[in-house]
Each structure stands twice: as structure tokens, then as C-alpha cells.
Amino acid sequence: MEPATVRASALRIAEHATAWRLPRVNVILHGGEPLLLGHEGLRAVLAELRATIAPSTGLRLSMQTNGVLLTPLVCDLLGEFDVRVGVSLDGDREANDRHRRFTNGASSHAHVLRALALLRQPEHRPLYGGLLCTIDVRNDPIAVYEALAAQAPPRIDFLLPHATWDSPPHRPGGDSTPYATWLSTIFQRWTADGRPTRIRLFDSLLSTAGGGRSGSEQIGSDAADLVVVETDGTWEQADSLKTAYDGAPETGASVHTHSVDEVSTHPAIHQRQLGLAGLSDTCRACPIVRRCGGGLYAHRYRAGSGFDNPSVYCADLKALVARIDRAEEAYMVQSAADDAQASDHLDQIAVGLGDGAAVRWLAETQLSITRALLAEAAAGAPAGSIGRDGWDLLTGIDRDTPAAVRRVGAHPYLRSWAVATLRDTGPERTGHLATVAAAAALLADTEAELSVPVHDGAIYLPTLGTVRLSSHSEGTARLSLGYRSLTAQTRDEKLAIDLGVPSAHWRPVRRVFDSRLDILLEDSDPDRDCHSWPTASPLDAAGEAAWHQELALAWKVIEEESSAQVAGLEAGLRAIVPLEADATGNMRASTARDAFGAVAASFTDHRALAVMIVHEFQHSKLGAVLDLYDLYDPESTATLKVGWRPDRRPVEGALQGTYAHLAVAEIWRGRAARGGAGQEAARRTYAQYRAWTLAAVEALQDSGALTRLGEQFVERMASATENWTS
């Protein structure tokens, strides 16, 4: 587009915005491919649009691109002019390659993924507008959805392929409404995933169900508010009309000679301002007309009757609306039931307890968060990297053997790895996805081959154990996975490992078994070092035996002295992590917000260890609650005086400490009541915890920083202290 045409277009937009006092206009750089302008050409266009339009109205600039030419330098330019970027991607490589190859036949998929990795970088993330996917029903809908979701987009647009009654869409045999089937399959999965990103078509149908706007040209009866400027300055209707017949979008007007008001009088544009009145008789008589709005204007065309027809996708739209409505009704019923159940669980947890069902609910929510973080971390793995290959394997196992992925996903330090990786994304960090996939494949008895990272001569497989190579090397190893066995090969050696037989090269994870307990004694996961204190080195045989003995005895103490906590611990405690001993002999214990179900502690006697496990698991539970609900105002700067610390504590710190002490005070209350040689010391300790907890509950209630739900939660905490005697 010539500079004079860019300026004339900008002047027409500014003129229209001024005349109608528009609060904002949207200008989209489309194509073709706008990045073919080159860096300086793009700068000139953006500068002209900003300089000419912005003084008259709010200007939102965006661009739709295939992403192939996107570079860090271009991203910096787009950030300078505040341009949102939408990228066209039709799914995984197989799906994308159907219609988006280079002219020489080569795949563009890897180039697009590189562009999306750029947009996900923290400095460029504000530019990321979303993904545009053109539907091809030959592609697996779930594979397409997962490939798109893996790119962590803020929004996804699914477009029905351009078609008319004269040139109908591809319809495979056996299904009269294949596009409804394809889309409703994704709707169900999207809903099951908790609707993690916006999908405009689904959002539109849900909005119109309640009488709202569609916000989309594709469906609904909203007035059309779009006009196109071609490279020569001619005003045209939407590009989609090119599928109807030659010259269909033409208006006979130009930015050089006609204002926006003048072009809006074009009969076809005027008709699309009429809402339902501009639709065919068939559409106006249809019960779902306010939902689909006759479909995309271009899709209505038929020679002889023009656009006075329903959409060529009419049957699909009807079926899709019906299926979404049925699914949404079931979803709302289940959501109401889930909300009631969640309220019951929250009440139990608030008094410092939580039975097995309540803690399993927390664990499920934590697993969902971990899965979402894994997907976001995986989106940063470059195409062709070991992390990307691992993610592809992991998603396949999740489809075929989801229980294996759930087991690995529940490992406490997988989330801490994902959080750290999102802070420092790179091929070196994302490679851990391959070891996660390898662990899931072994649990699923899935044969596979993949490369995994080696750190200090070790390959850690979450929940399973550590492969130890002969040398303390760094790099990668090739794993061949079989039934409870694997082969690890590097340039220097090849090891055959039987997972059931410990050896110099295979160290299974340590587990602590009891009639009601099965937890990891986690001393090997490289991501466990996220606690307040340094973690201990891997245990030798004597150290392991000592920990086993004290943990078994500690569990018996918990069963005797804190029996109300047992069911919750069984449901949520996943791992005990040995910490380095304190040089002064003080006890150490810790939980990490991003490692639900893990308790870290230094070695001590079983009675002290029992208290530490109960104490720290309280923090784990409350951290999981705070992942779900705002119990206090995050903007609050209030600090509270608490008895167990010399410094004033922020609201969350005070809440965490008070909640943990609810359970600890109960243990000492029981010990004080039992008598024996240590009764007097137990009474003093109980009195101290009781005073600390009661004062802190009162301070929280008086802080003014709690939300309404937080007030209710602390009220329930207070109710747990009502039978405490001095």
C-alpha cells in the first residue's frame, strides 16, 4: 500500500471517529501477509495510523499473520506501537500442513511455533492476541485443540471454511453435520479442562443463549461494523465475500474519494446493519435465529437468490447450538453441585481438619493447576527439541492411559519445576518434559524411544527413580522404554535397566509403606530444593533405615494423637523430603507453596516428627485453598503482631501460621490431658499454642483485610477453638 493511501485511509477513519464521537476504533493489518512490508515499511504504516487517528479517538491496532517472518526485532516494533498479534495455526503439524505449506511444498509449522514462542516470552506476551484456526473436519478435533492449547493463547478463533450453496463445504460420509460434531467434541473437552482460554465461537453461542451480543461476524445478529481497505485504497466488504463470486466484496468506492459514511450506504453493507430484519424468511422463522443470526454473510450465497438464504452450514449450526445447550445445562447442574460440595469441603478444612474427600478435592484442583502449568511450560519448548518430543509423547499417553499421567502429575515437585521453568524458559529446562513423559510411559507400559537430559550423570524419572550413568556427564541420553525396563544409551555407554532390581545404575525411589500410608521418601528429585532450608544429600542405607523407622513410629503417633488428621494425610501427603540438619541442633521443617503434598524436615525423633508432619501439611492444605479463593485482599498492606514471631507478619503469613497452629495446639492439648512424665511440659506447650492461636484469630478478624469468604473461613477457625480450656 502506497504511503499516500495509508494516510488517506487514516484520515478517513479519523474523520469518521470525530463525526460520530466514537470512543474507539479497531484497525487490523491483514493480508496477504502484513509482515511482507518489512521492518521499516511496517514502522511507517504504524506511525501514520497512530499519528493521524489517535488524536481523534482511542485506537486499537492489531495484526493477523502467519508468523513466519516474526522476529524479536519485529516484536519490539509491534510493542512500541502497541499492536496485538493474532497468528494463524490450524493445529499440530499434520493439521497445519494441509493448507499452510510454503509454495515449494515445505512445512511452515516449525516457523509458526517459533513465532508463538517469541510471543510467549514475558517481554512480548502483552502483544499475543490469540490463534486463528480454520476448521478441516479431516483433522482430529482433540489433537487440534491440544495443539492450540499448548501454545497458551489468550483466545482461539475457530473459523468454518469458506463455502456457499454453489460450492458447499467438504462433508465426509456418515455424518450429516460433521462440523457440529467436530466443534462439539472440542466444546466438551474445553469444558472438561475448565475452559482455560477464551474460544470466541463458544463464547458467542453462550452469550446469545442469555440474550447477549455475539461479538462475532461469524454468528449472531450484531450489526456488521467492518469495512476493508484494499492495497489500492478501494473500500470493500469483508474478504470472506470473495468466496461467493468475482467482485462480490466491491463497493465502487475509494478512500481517496468517499467517506466511511458514504461507503456505509452501499446496499449490502446497509442490509447487514438491519439485524434480524436483514435475514431471509427461512431464518426469521427459525427458533434459533437469535443464536446463529443466519451465519456468516458469505456462507449464505446461492446463484439466483444471492444472500437471501440461510447459511450453507445451517444444519451444522442448529446441531451445534442444540449440543452446546444440552452440554451447558449439564455443566451448570454439575457446577451447582460442585459448588455445594466445595463449600462443604471448605467448611471442613477451615476448622483445621479435612477428611479424605475434602483433601482429595484439594489434590484434584492442584493436579489441574499442575497440568495447566505443564502445558504453558511445554509451549516454550522449541519445535524439534527433546522437551517438545517429550510433550508430544506425554499428551498421547494422556489420551490412552490417563491414570499414568495423573500419577506422575501428582508428584509434588512437578509443579515447582513448571513454575521455575516459566520464569526461565529455555531448551535446557523444558527438556525435563522428556523425563516426565518417560516416567508416564513406563507406568503405562507403553513402548517408546526418546531422548532425555542428563544432569551430573543422572536421569531422574519422577515417582520411579534415578538412572545413574558411569560418568558424571551432562548432555542427553537415548531411552528405549519397555515393560518395566529401559535401555539408556549415550556416546560412551549403554545400560540395560530392570526397574524391579536396584543396582549401581538404578536407584528406585524410596517409599514408606504402612497399612494406611504410602509416601515417597524423596531424596533425589533435583527440583525438591525449593524449601526454606537446604535439602539433604541422597540417603545411604543407614540413613534410609533410620528415616523409615522414625516415620513408621511418627505415623503411629499421628494415629493416636491426631486421629482426625489421618484421613486427610492419607489423601494428600505424597512425600517426605529430608533436610540438612541444623548445626545448632534446632529442628527444621518446611513446605513449599508450589509443592502440594510434600513435607520437608530434618531428621528427628518420631514424636517431634509427627508434630512437624501435621504442622507442615496444614500449610500445604491452606496453600491449596489460597490457590482457589481470595481469603484476603491481595492489595492489603496490613501487618499483624503474632506471638510466635518477633516481627509483624503480612496477612497471609499470619493466616498460615494460625491455621497450622490449630492442629498443633490440638496435639498438645491431647498430650496435656494424658498425664505421665511429660504432662507438665505438655501443658505449658499447649498453653503457649492456645494463646498464640486465639490472639492471632482475633487479630485476623480485626484486620479489615479479609474478604467475605475469608471472614467466614476465619470464623470457622475460631469455632474450632471453642472447646479449648485454659
Q: Are 149 and 125 in contact (CB under 8 A)?
A: no
User: pTM to 2 decimals?
Assistant: 0.66
Enumerate residue ranges in the chain where pLDDT < 70. Answer: 425-427, 515, 726
**Secondary structure of 652-712 as H, E, C letters:** HHHHHHHHHHHHHHHHHHHHHHHCCCCHHHHHHHHHHHHHHHHHHHHHHHHCCCECHHHHH
Strand order in the sheet with 198-199: 24-29, 58-65, 83-88, 128-134, 155-159, 198-199
Q: Are 595 and 412 in contact (CB under 8 A)?
A: yes
CA dist 298 and 221 (Å) reads: 14
Question: In sequence order, which residues have a C-beta less than 8 Å from that of residue 95 and are 6 or more positions away?
Answer: 136, 139, 140, 143, 144, 147
Give me the domains of the chain, ranges plus CATH numbers.
3-323 (3.20.20.70), 351-508 (no CATH), 510-556+574-610 (no CATH), 629-726 (no CATH)
Cis peptide before 32 (omega within 30 of 0): yes
Q: What 3-state class would DSSP assign to 487?
A: strand
pLDDT one-digit tens code per residue, 625-683: 999 999 999 889 999 999 999 999 999 999 999 999 999 999 999 999 988 888 999 99
Q: What is the pLDDT of residue 31?
A: 84
Q: Are 152 and 127 in contact (CB under 8 A)?
A: no
CA dist 408 and 394 (Å) reads: 10
Q: Are 50 and 14 in contact (CB under 8 A)?
A: no
Q: What is the pLDDT of residue 515?
A: 63
Burial grade of 334 (CB within 10 A; 0-12, 13-18, 19 or more): exposed
pLDDT one-digit tens code per residue, 550-587: 999 999 999 999 999 999 999 999 999 999 999 998 99
H-helix segments, 410-458 = 412-423, 427-430, 432-443
Question: In sequence order, which residues have a C-beta less than 8 Å from that of residue 501 and are 6 or more positions away?
Answer: none
